[in-house]
Structure formats: C-alpha cells, structure tokens
Amino acid sequence: MTYYDREADIVYVELRATEAARSIEHEWGLIDLGDDGEPVGLEYWDASGRLPVELLAALRAPEPPVEAGAV
C-alpha cells in the first residue's frame, strides 16, 4: 500500500505486493528489495521537504496496525 504518514513525514510507495527481504539505506530513505533482489517498495524520509505538496495531499494515511486479539 502506498501512503503518507504525516506524523512521521514518511512516504512509502509500494511497487509490488510482496514482503521485503532486505533494505538498502540511502540519504533520502530506503529501497526495499524482495527475495529476488528486485525493488518492492521505496520509503522517502523528510517527505514534505523532498516531494511536491500536491503529491503528499493526494496520498492516504497508513492503515493502523491490527492489535493482537482484535476481531
């Protein structure tokens, strides 16, 4: 899921719906890689300083985590 976490000022762009096996850290954020070594997602730190305001406004907030035992 692609989202903008306004509180953390982080944008995550999902490229493929698969789990990240590892991440490569850069000055601007992370590249998440799958088991096959191909990118599965991009995480941008300090998003409000790096990305257009119009893009940030168009992105939804992340879904809250599901608590253990919640039905």
Question: What pLDDT does 6 receive?
Answer: 96
Q: Look up residue 52 and give its DSSP letter.
A: -
Question: What pLDDT does 65 receive?
Answer: 76
Q: What confidence tens digit (pLDDT) does each residue in 12-33 have?
A: 999 999 999 999 999 999 999 9
Dihedral sign computed on CA atoms, order 40, 12, 52, 54: positive
Residue type, 59: L
Q: Is the pLDDT of residue 5 over 80?
A: yes
Can you tell me the mean pLDDT for 45-56? 97
Q: How confident is the model at residue 69 (pLDDT cuts 50, 70, 90)?
A: low
